[in-house]
A and B are shown apart, each in its own frame.
Chain A
């Protein structure tokens, strides 16, 4: 517990490390989402073109 309090600076230190983890998770999630969205949009377009031909 003493290690967690970081000499009274625990709130500042843990907030920063948590924030860094959150930023990485958001960046990863957004990158995956974008790739999946683009892929799905193209898939839908190709299928639609295939249906009309």
Chain B
């Protein structure tokens, strides 16, 4: 077990392993997203209250979930890098930030587009779920700006790791905001006592979409981490050998 973890943390081993893993994430991810898109748009029945506008959840819920998952990956990796000084952890944290920011933007945008026909407004400042999600987008921006502002990679890793860890407190706030405070946003539908409060015809495409988004997110993350690893290891012998072999980065 420890040998496997030790090997995984080795940059050249990870670089090669990640390349081999990519097709195993992309192909099932695309299949699941394809099925879920078709089933969510055309097979699932319209909601009795929201009509067809409810179909927005098939992209809103997975992107909101990934926005939080990406932040947790970033914060945990940054924490591991800070405590155990594993270089690969900082690379993972740095790679997760831009992807997380894009999915947070997607969650906010699709939520806003859903809010217009359902709530009659694009945005509601008093809503804790919306505001805390927006704060997370700013945390991603802050993390990336801090990294970009420091030339020394080691110093950038340490400073941004502290910010990522402090900002992690926002993740449970986002998740529980609909329970802790009065919110326009609906409460938990999938993760709740007594099981999901959805008809299977609506639920299965949503679960497939969440899984599909997660696999594609994993592929995006691996690609980004590979670039980050290559950059950080640019002066090492294995990178020189890789370049001289002429095989290319893929």
Interface residues of A (CB under 8 A from B): 3, 6-10, 12-13, 15-17, 19-20, 23-24, 26-28, 30-32, 34-39, 41-43, 45-46
Contacts and interface: CB of A to CB of B under 8 A. Distances in A.
Contact of A3 (B42, B99, B105): B42
Interface residues of B, number: 41
Interface stretch (B49-57, B75-83, B151-159): B49-57
Nearest to B103: A23
Contacts of A41: 234
Interface residues of chain A: helix, strand, loop or mixed (majority): helix
B232 to A, nearest CB: 10
Contacts of B116: 12
Given A45-B234, A46-B240, A16 B59 contact: yes
A3 B40 CA distance: 12
Given A9-B52, A27-B99, 10 more contacts: A3-B41, A7-B52, A8-B51, A27-B98, A28-B220, A28-B223, A31-B220, A31-B227, A32-B223, A46-B244
A30 B114 CA distance: 28
B220 A39 contact: no
Interface in B37-65: 37, 41-42, 46, 51-53, 55-56, 58-60, 63
Contacts of B103: 23
Given A12-B113, A17-B59, A28-B220, A23 B102 contact: yes
